[in-house]
Amino acid sequence: MKAEYKGQAHIKILQEIYKRALDIVNKGNLESLFNDVDKVEKAHLKTVVDNFERGRGVLTVLITSLVHKLHNPNQDIRLHQDNLKGGYSGRGIDTKFITPFMKEMGFPAMAESGWLTRSLEQNRPYNFSYPGKITPKELKIAFLFLLDQIQSYNKSAETYLLILFAKLIEHREQKNIDLAKPTNLTISTIINYLKYHFESSYSSRGASRLPTLAIFSIYQCLIKELKRFEGKILVPLEEHTSADKSSGRV
């Protein structure tokens, strides 16, 4: 762990780690980072990487924990709530710094905080006895293992963060490449794709938001192309914390 992070603002740590990770990716030196971790650590980090989208809550909480460890090396980051003896407010740091940064960078992010996920909000330390039902099971094991490595074996929070950020950058760029590929599709094909997308079964929450996102995306395209929308702007989407009927949006 590098001493210069101690006491730095969380946002400064995020920016510095991101800058270094971006440089590593641009120079093609990502594999060199794995020289600083053993095979077991590498396997568990890969599990987190493989679940970037599905496990956004775990990703957010893990990054929050690692950043705070750099900020305050004496903090046991498994004690993630300030009402635990010797604990700190992980949710407060996440809400103020981590999730906004993740959104700004185009990384997988929660609506507000990883601690709003039921499986992660329990008032128990993040040790191997933690009862939260984090899924898939291998992601829970990886999450708790990595935190234990930091606390019990003095492994490098900085190295873990650099690996995660480098992989997040690669993940983001791959999505951008896929979205940039032009494809000619008929309207009926697009409708069928959307219907299949909306009606599929998902293991994570948020599927009810898909129709709203689809319509919003369509208008984002139309407003640039049609003269009738000249000078008009789209009202930003609101946070989706309840059903549309309950919130009064429909």
Q: What string of H, E and C letters represents the secondary structure of 24-74?
A: HHHCCCHHHHHHHCCHHHHHHHHHHHHCCCCCHHHHHHHHHHHHHHHHCCC
For the chain, the structural domain boundaries read 3-179, 187-247
Q: Are 36 and 160 contacting, i.e. CB atoms less than 8 angstroms apart?
A: no
Q: Are 52 and 168 contacting, i.e. CB atoms less than 8 angstroms apart?
A: yes
What's the rounded Cα separation, in Å, for the pair 195 and 18? 38
pLDDT by residue for the chain (250 residues), tens only, comes to 455 899 999 999 999 999 999 999 999 998 888 999 999 999 999 999 999 999 999 999 999 999 999 999 999 999 999 999 999 999 999 999 999 999 999 999 999 999 999 999 999 999 999 999 999 999 999 999 999 999 999 999 999 999 999 999 999 988 776 555 566 777 777 887 788 788 877 766 777 788 888 888 888 888 888 878 887 888 888 776 555 555 555 4
What's the rounded Cα separation, in Å, for the pair 159 and 34? 9
